[in-house]
Amino acid sequence: MDDGWLRRALAQKRDGAALDDATWDRIVDGYVKGEIDDAPVAALAMACTIRGMADAEIFALTGAMVRSGDTIVFPAGRIVVDKHSSGGVGDTVSLVAVPLVAACGVPVAKLSGRALGHTGGTLDKLEAIPGVRTDLEPAAFVAQVEAIGCAIAAQSERLVPADQKLYALRDRTATVPSVGLIAASIVSKKIAGGAGAIVFDVKAGRGAFMHTIAEARVLAETLVRLAAAFGRRASAVISDMEEPLGAAVGSGIEAVEARDFLRGDERDPRLSEAVFAVVHEMLRVGGIAEREIETRALDTLQSGAAYERFAQLVRAQGGSPGALDRIAAHPHRATATAARGGVVTAIDAAAIGELARDATVADGPFAGIRILARVGAPVRAGEALAECAGPSLDPFAVARAFTIGVQAPPARNLVEAVVRDELPAAVELRR
């Protein structure tokens, strides 16, 4: 095969020029079919990572990726919302927001991923509930959203096969952290999954992909512009991942935390703030008038309707009767304590995530860590920092993820900014 066109395209991209739509199409198509091998695509990914990508290129790449596989279609006239998180530790927002938004009258069709590295996966959390399945066929996924207003399912391998191949190549070639490639990867999967409106929860901090707020902001704005270019209402919430989001970190224990939150037994204030920011945007892009959003969300939570919707989702996806009420953290408990007195100045979210994930592998899905002392909290020597559920967890290793100093660090906003699709340009609402 004469691939002079491909070599010339790579040279163009290497030198900083943008590739046209037809070239992106031809590359994605050829790569998925196996007519183009890894070498030129790896070189292209590196050129994109170093040189950046124009909006038109990201749009062309995303479209070509969507066309590489099947797409899910919801009945005409139904705007279903999806929510994407860029990955975090103790990020239980989806399990709470999906049923809450559905119970507010906006259908949610959530495609989720599994745990990756130190970050948790919504599918693992949901599947910890006995009987629950997430491998829904597209027809069953659509039917469940029609019937009860929400579903949480695994991304099928038939959706965006180009992303699976490209992501694996990027992982091997140090080309994951390219804003354009990340945006195309995320948005192509949401479009193929049938989302009519999308909310992105972009994390910033040590526990996230994007370490600084400035980097997170660039990704958030790119995601919103890209979704809008496909005619999708969109918002991005930029939120802090310097320390774990909710109190619970694990898989099943995060489902317990979501249940307790929805039922009103216990609501971690940080998780609550993140949930309400994301829910607000999901209702907005789902077409609820701004002035109605807050009361509708609060009423739906307080009335128990959101909890009931979560129970319905669990039953619809195979959960055993009573399973949701019975789940509880692993009964083996130990306490991680402060070696000295002072103030918690940092909690290494990545380390907590890794320890919790190892514990779920060793001790089962309901093992994990419950954060008791947050950044900024004063602690005495010997005071509890975290509760460890599961015999394999070493409380001393958990305690080492906490830095104790003499002075509280400057307070960080949990929700740093919200980027919306309001025309003509995406505007940012600083809080």
Active site residues: 84, 163, 170, 185, 189
Residue 18 binds which one of Ca ion, ligand URA, none, with CB within 5 to 8 A depending on kind? none
Residue 186 binds which one of ligand URA, Ca ion, none, with CB within 5 to 8 A depending on kind? ligand URA
What is the Cα–Cα distance from 110 to 108, expressed in whole angstroms?
6
Of 297, 301, 385, residue with least CA distance to 341 = 385
Q: Which stretch binds ligand URA (CB under 6 A): 175-183, 367-375, 383-391, 417-425?
A: 175-183
Q: Least CB distance from residue 29 to ligand URA, whole Å? A: 20
Which of helix, strand or coil describes residue 345?
A: strand
Position 339: which residue type?
A
Q: Which stretch binds ligand URA (CB under 6 A): 179-187, 217-225, 315-323, 392-400?
A: 179-187
Contact 258, 314 (CB under 8 A): no
186 binds ligand URA (CB under 6 A): yes
Smaller CB separation from ligand URA, 234 or 288:
234
Smaller CB separation from Ca ion, 328 or 425:
328
Residues paired with residue 200 on neighbouring β-strands, in sequence order: 84, 236
> Within a 10 A sphere around the Cβ of 63, how many other Cβ atoms?
20
Select from 119, 185, 239, 251 the one that contacts ligand URA (CB under 6 A): 185
Residue 127 binds which one of Ca ion, ligand URA, none, with CB within 5 to 8 A depending on kind? Ca ion
Which of helix, strand or coil describes residue 310?
A: helix
Segments in 364-405 forming alpha helices (H):
395-400
Residue 182 binds which one of ligand URA, Ca ion, none, with CB within 5 to 8 A depending on kind? ligand URA
Select from 93, 182, 277, 426 the one that contacts ligand URA (CB under 6 A): 182
Q: Least CB distance from residue 384 to ligand URA, whole Å? A: 35
Residues paired with residue 386 on neighbouring β-strands, in sequence order: 336, 371
What is the Cα–Cα distance from 394 to 408, expressed in whole angstroms?
26
Name the closest residue to ligand URA (Cβ): 185
Note the Cα 278 to chain centre separation in Å: 11
Q: Least CB distance from residue 127 to Ca ion, whole Å? A: 4
Site string for ligand URA, 141-170 (x = CB under 6 A): --------------------------x---
Which residues fall within 8 angstroms of residue 303, CB to CB, at 6 or more apart?
A: none
Contact 241, 207 (CB under 8 A): yes
Q: Least CB distance from residue 153 to Ca ion, whole Å? A: 14
Of 127, 119, 42, 69, residue with least CA distance to 323 = 127
202 binds ligand URA (CB under 6 A): no
Smaller CB separation from ligand URA, 88 or 246:
88
Contact 199, 282 (CB under 8 A): yes
What is the Cα–Cα distance from 79 to 383, expressed in whole angstroms?
50
Residue 230 binds which one of ligand URA, Ca ion, none, with CB within 5 to 8 A depending on kind? none
Name the closest residue to Ca ion (Cβ): 127
Smaller CB separation from ligand URA, 59 or 366:
59
Smaller CB separation from Ca ion, 127 or 242:
127
Six token digits for residue 430: 């600083």
Smaller CB separation from ligand URA, 154 or 347:
154
> What is the maximum alpha-carbon separation in the chain?
71
256 binds ligand URA (CB under 6 A): no
Contact 277, 416 (CB under 8 A): no
Q: Least CB distance from residue 84 to ligand URA, whole Å? A: 8
Segment holding 98, helix H or strand E: helix 93-103
Smaller CB separation from Ca ion, 156 or 235:
156
**Contacts with ligand URA: how many residues (CB under 6 A)?**
6
Residues that bind Ca ion (CB under 5 A): 127
Contact 52, 218 (CB under 8 A): no
- Work out the end-to-end distance of the chain between its first and last CA atoms, rounded to an integer number of angstroms: 55
Q: Least CB distance from residue 135 to Ca ion, whole Å? A: 10
> Which residues would be at the binding site for ligand URA (CB under 6 A)?
167, 176, 181-182, 185-186
